[in-house]
Structure 1
């Protein structure tokens, strides 16, 4: 069976900002983030998963991650997650 790569977006309940990354093992990576093992999110806990996508290879995943970190990628996510943001009173 093929190994998938996941692009994910976490939302910090502490500062209200998002974090975008990619991984082979989404469940493990979420655990690492929320247990303080990831330096870039350590001071922003707790983090909740608000979005993820699967890719068939690492190259596609890194391209997609880079896109989602751009202005247009952030606009895409805001539009894609409009209902979640609305229900969370964030827009």
Structure 2
């Protein structure tokens, strides 16, 4: 049985001071959508580079981790990772 894995990720705009945090079950396709401008929220900030990702077993667990990385503490850590 093939179990779905969820990825919590952070991407950094290559041209602007912007970090986006999200979750997906297909990180490759999701990054491509961000970089091609298919996502309304991130379109003005493309292109992006992946600065962080972690895999979790369930969507509810991924949502908890996503909320952490969107918090003040999480964003500060991501900024230090992303050298912003």
| TM-based fold match above 0.5 | yes
Task: Let me know the Cα RMSD of the aligned residues.
Answer: 1.4
Structure 2 runs not aligned, ≥5 long: none
How many residue pairs align between the two structures?
A: 83
Structure 1 runs not aligned, ≥5 long: none
Residue of structure 2 equivalent to 1:31: 32
- Give the structure with higher Rg (CA): 1
Q: Secondary structure, in 3 states, of the residue corresponding to 1:60?
A: helix
Counterparts of residues 8-87 of structure 1 (less than 5 Å): 8-79=9-80, 81=81, 85=83
Kindly state the Cα deviation for residue 64 of structure 1 after the two structures are TM-superposed: 0.5
Normalised to the residue count of structure 1, the TM-score between the two structures is 0.83
- Write the distance in 1 (CA, Å) between the matches of 2:62 and 2:7: 7
Give the number of the structure with larger relative contact order, counting CA–CA contacts within 8 Å between residues 6 or more apart.
2
Normalised to the residue count of structure 2, the TM-score between the two structures is 0.89
Residue of structure 2 equivalent to 1:3: 4
Q: Secondary structure, in 3 states, of the residue corresponding to 2:11?
A: strand
Write out the 4+ residue segments of structure 1 that deviate beyond 2 Å after TM superposition. 75-79
